[in-house]
A and B are shown apart, each in its own frame.
Chain A
């Protein structure tokens, strides 16, 4: 059954926008971590974009939650947006949404306070993003059936593909990385080669 209220449409629209924004934020985050750059932009712009888009995501997510609850048809209690699996309507899918909200809120709050926290603490919470993402995708497809067909499905799959590729790249890079103490022999060899190239023939 569908309700034709403006809130219903707004909730679905802001939900889709939040999903797309979250995907972009995740990809940018991986880019920052891998010391990547966007063409023509300084490095601080990549981090800046990652942070600003995440705050934009907060805004759209906020609107998504508010419109979904204010739309009276579904009778979702306010608390169910943060306490998982307490909604009468679509308990499981909304519940997943609440899980995502909790994880996302932890990431955002710690990031706003990141210069006051111990780096290890901030980093540990930031890893929640990787859990949050699949939860967001599953919640979206479960709660909004229109995502399961047509151009919305195509859009969703495109974002998922992009994020999964970025994560795959991140994982492969991490697996190939040598822990820093182990990089010393590699540096010794590299230095030898560099110096050999520079050497003139003095004999």
Chain B
């Protein structure tokens, strides 16, 4: 049976990297990178990924946007793609990526490959969300999101395995947002942006250190069960963003905003997607627990994506009512780096520094080092 494969290349991905710009988001930076002699390797990387699919050429119908957004890489790899839509060559934009992805979604793809970095992953998420399987070919400057294969050729191998083999499965993976402006100033500011559905094979996707998705979901459920045991009657529970905290709400049968801060009790949802003021109002009336997970790829506890849990909220709730949860592979991925706090309040950062227990499973904790945001 013929498989329908989409390919979108962000031709500007990665151009900021070699010239030291720490990213390629936005037209201004792209022009600066081009002026400095930046070259995108996205074409080559996409073509390299397609190499693995060449033996299956007769069984694959390849769809791409025109020219440098996929068509060229496809021809280069020896495919004759079906070309969709039109673009203005030389200055493609995030809108072009999103429009192409929506075209693919309309036509129905078995898999959509995209070559780019975190910014491209965000565009793909904005366009198609979790409506079809997608997979990133690493070609950007920053790839904090584990939606990318570890290597361009791994992306091709994984596509083959998913489309024609028995051993790849689908899995939800996080798309990480990183503030490039802040990053250039030396501050890592990652936060969870959304999720994509990716084909998963434990040997081919980066940042995956668990044996299988099944064991990962069992671990998330175990953590959720442990948290629910800690949710005392009469207490509010402030849930930070993330898939790990979402599992807590799901286990109670409640909705949860993926990137927002929500307030619940064991019995009910008190408020979704709250800001600092609303939290302060709520905890003025009742004692509370704070449940947060590590945000993004850098191991931030506070100050990245969960700002509604402000220094004042942390002071009022207290360190003793803070529950940090994390699948162990997220801790392992930190490679010994401490968890970071950057609440904007030195005293609160100080209060949280030292060693904090991190719930990693049911009746399982890790004592892990926490430090105030350090120099990069």
Partners in one complex: no
Q: Name B's A-contacting residues (CB within 8 A).
A: none
A positions within 8 Å CB-CB of B: none
